[in-house]
Amino acid sequence: MSKKIFSEILFGVLIILFGTLIYFDTSPSIYGFPVPKSLGGFLIILGFFWVFYALLNKKKLITTWKKAKEVESIWICPQCLKPEYRQDNPDLKCRVCHTNLEDLDGFYERNPELKENKKI
Ligand SMILES: [Zn+2]
């Protein structure tokens, strides 16, 4: 869990705690000013929404990042050594020799003998 999301959730929890304190206080006040109990209830709900949205955004961020990574990934034909974007070739088969493409990420580490003809 990243630091930012952690502090956002912590902030939400603090709002909930603060709201709870006001809500269960017999004569709630902030800095000596009396406040209505409903403010406590409002803060509790606000805190829950805050935490909920923090978690929701986190999930959205991960999905977006994963999609971006998938679209950007480059694959390569081990025969022709022709690189292609995954999005341009969803079958992941070489258009020339119909060999299965391989993920370029780590390709030359898995096939060190091909390094001499390295084109990309
Ligand atoms: Zn090929």
Same domain, 7 and 33: yes
Q: 76 CA distance to ligand 1 centroid (A)? A: 8
Same domain, 83 and 105: yes
| Whether residue 119 has pLDDT greater than 70 | no
Q: When comparing pLDDT for 68 and 2, which is higher? A: 68
Do 60 and 78 lie in one domain? The reply is: no
Q: Are residues 10 and 49 in the same domain?
A: yes
pLDDT in tens, 53-67: 888 888 888 888 777
Q: Mark whether 11 and 48 lie in a shared domain.
A: yes
Check whether residue 98 and residue 45 sit in a common domain. no
Residues 6+ apart with CB under 8 A from 34: 27, 28
Q: How far is the CA of 27 from the centre of ligand 1 (A)?
A: 78
Stretch (H or E) spanning 110: helix 107-110
Taking only the tens place, the pLDDT of each residue in 33-50 is 888 889 999 999 999 999
> Do 60 and 85 sit in the same domain of this protein?
no
Residues 78 and 55 in one domain: no
Supply 70's token pair.
């998938």
Task: Say if residue 106 is in the same domain as residue 86.
Answer: yes
**Stretch 82-92: mean pLDDT:** 87
Distance CA 51, CA 96 (A): 52
14 CA to middle of ligand 1, Å?
Answer: 59
How far from 101 is each of 62, 63, 84, CA to CA, in Å?
26, 25, 9
Task: Tell me the CB-side half-sphere exposure of residue 8, using CA atoms within 13 A.
Answer: 15
CA of 96 to the centre of ligand 1 (A): 5
Contacting residues for 23 by C-beta, under 8 A, at least 6 apart: 37, 40, 41, 44
Question: Domain of 100?
Answer: 74-117
Find, among 69, 71, 76, 120, the residue nearest to 97 by Cα.
Answer: 76
Task: Compute the distance from residue 114 Cα to the ligand 1 centre, in Å.
Answer: 14
**Residues 74 and 68: beta-carbon distance below 8 Å:** no
**9 & 62 share domain:** yes
Protein residues within 5 Å, CB atom, of ion ligand 1: 77, 79-80, 94, 96-97, 99
